[in-house]
Structure 1
Amino acid sequence: MSASPRISLLGTGALLFEAPGETDLPTQRRIWSLAREVETWPEIREAVPGMNNLLVSFASRPRRLDAIEARLIDAWAAVDPLPLAGRIVELPVIYGGDGGPHMADVVAHTRLGVDEIVAIHSEPIYPVYALGSHPGYCYLGGMDPRLATPRRKVPVLTIPGGAVSIGGAQTGVSASDGPSGWNTIGTTSMSFFDALRDPPALLQPGDSIAFRVARVIR
């Protein structure tokens, strides 16, 4: 028997739908499809895809939450994966050096050399699963499991925008200055968020990132 979705209330104005199974692209495509379906419901104000989940906020509090929950579960069973075909944005990365202060920690954990890490990290095309954490930040899929490195026990108080990091089984690029518990291995230059741009976020779910090696500093 397949696992069932998990639904939990977030205060009185929203709920969180969590998909069963692994966080992978086929599941995420179903999340995107579910978001489009749910946003057409008159009682729903917004449906925001997350990593393997969907945040659903109400236009007005429904009289029967169980009816909404049952409708969500039925919709999840019926939706087909949405194969969004977005842009591929290439990001030139300077790996190591001052912009990659935790490269040595990734080397120590993975037992791979710097050149191997750079080659493996810059090989895939990384799909954007969802936006979150801070404006313009992309949650990416597709990292090679050989690079998986636990998050830092003591977070760094400030990393710059454009920091390319690894946290657990994921990689990502900081869209602005801020704290982080991930391992920064390089840096890139790109404006991921501009409030005057339409849309403000450079990338959307369905787009992809390709990391290109600009330089390796040992």
Structure 2
Amino acid sequence: MVPPRTPPRLLPSGDSAITVEFSRKIDDEANRRVLALDRTLAQEPIAGVTETVPTYRSLLVHYDPTEIDFPTLGRKLAQLAERPVSSSERSRLWRVPVAYGGEYGIDLEDVAKTLGTTPEDVVARHIAGDYRVAMLGFTPGWSYLSGLPETLHMPRRQNPRLLTPAGTISVGGVQAGIQCLAGPSGWHLLGCTPVRTYQLHREPTFLLEPGDRVKFYQIDAKTYAEQERAAERGEIIAELVRQI
């Protein structure tokens, strides 16, 4: 017998937003419920809702308090959140190239030492992962991925870097990530991809979407340079394998 799902917590976020929290920890089931509610609100809009922001474990729902109040919206959201989540989540599968180690992934050797293995084994473990885009955030195109193999789980850096390169492929805690733009990070840098998950004047502007799946594969420096030039021209380097 399947145990009943825990109802989400409805938390006020200021005077014009509600956080619908499905879990207090990171897990794919909670994230599926987040994305399902987000899709439902897109398909069946509630008058007064102005924007939704999905995260790993909660959905932030902005609303106009002159059109709908907190109790009324909360009841509607709670009812929608109880709908069954489809077991066959529709998503796309992308193959993303990565140049690992050296100037592309300056933490690869340190990660290998910490895990008591070799850089080649770390790369093999990373490539073997079956990743799922749980959310986008922090900076445009920053893709948070679940599915990091347990053998690569490790604490984040004690001293975050103020600047890490655009395209960084990294791991931190139980997560993997694709960092599109240069910026600060406390994660461990394993490699770099020429893929632009965000490109302002390209269609689509954002390449990956929550619920998409990602597989990484290794490329050499020559291929990276070629693909980087193509990406600068607006080409989509990641390969869309199939619609699941």
TM-score normalized with structure 2 length = 0.80
**Conserved in 2, the CA contact under 8 Å of 1:30 and 1:81?**
no
Distance in 1, Cα, partners of 2:142 & 2:79: 31
Q: 1:110 to 1:73 in 2, by over 3 A?
A: farther
Q: 2:57 matched to 1:55?
A: no
Residue pair 1:3, 1:21 contacting (<8 A) in 2 also: no
Mapped partners of 1:7, 1:182: distance in 2:
31
**Which letter does structure 1 place at the counterpart of 2:213?**
S
Q: Is the 8 A contact 1:29 1:83 kept in 2?
A: no
Cα offset, 1:77, TM superposition: 1.8
| Cα deviation, residue 90, structure 1 | 1.6
Q: For structure 2, list consecutive stretches of 5 or more residues without a partner in the other structure.
A: 222-244
Write the distance in 1 (CA, Å) between the matches of 2:111 and 2:95: 23
Backbone CA RMSD of aligned residues: 2.2
- 1:9 alignment counterpart: 12
The count of aligned residue pairs is: 216
The farther-off stretch of 33-42 and 179-188 is 33-42
1:34–1:79 contact (8 Å) kept in structure 2: no
> CA offset at residue 148 of structure 1?
0.8
The code of the aligned residue for 1:11 comes to G
Corresponding position of 2:168: 163
Instruction: Indicate yes or no: 2:185 matched with 1:180.
Output: yes
Q: Offset at 1:19?
A: 0.6
Rounded to whole Å, the distance in 2 between the matches of 1:16 and 1:61 is 19
CA contact (8 A) 2:132 2:214 kept: yes
Spell out the pairing of 1:13-52 with structure 2 (5 A cutoff).
13-20=16-23, 22-39=25-42, 40-52=45-57
Query: 2:78 is matched by which residue type in structure 1?
Result: I
Question: Are the aligned partners of 2:97 and 2:195 in contact in 1 as well (CA < 8 Å)?
Answer: no
2: distance between equivalents of 1:88 and 1:2? 28
Q: Report the residue type matching 1:90 in the other structure.
A: R
Give the Cα–Cα distance (whole angstroms) in 2 for the partners of residues 34 and 135 of structure 1. Answer: 23
Deviates more, 1:175-184 or 1:32-41: 32-41
1:62-211 aligned within 5 A: 64-81=69-86, 83-211=88-216
CA shift for structure 1 position 54? 0.6
CA distance in 1, matches of 2:5, 2:93: 34
Structure-2 separation of matches of 1:76 and 1:194: 33
Measured after TM superposition, the shift of residue 200 of structure 1 is 1.3
Q: Which moved further from structure 2: 27-36 or 138-147?
A: 27-36
Q: One-letter code of the match for 1:12?
A: D
Letter paired with 1:36: R
Deviation string for 1:155-195 (max 9, x for gaps)? 11111111111110001111111111101011111121122
Which ranges in structure 1 are unaligned for 5 or more consecutive residues? Answer: none
User: Which residue pairs with 2:228 in the alignment?
Assistant: none
Structure 2 distance, partners of 1:60, 1:164, is: 41
Identity %: 31
**Inter-partner Cα distance in structure 2 for 1:125 and 1:71:** 35
- Is the contact between residue 55 and residue 134 of structure 2 (CA under 8 Å) also seen in structure 1? yes
Q: What is aligned with 2:240?
A: none
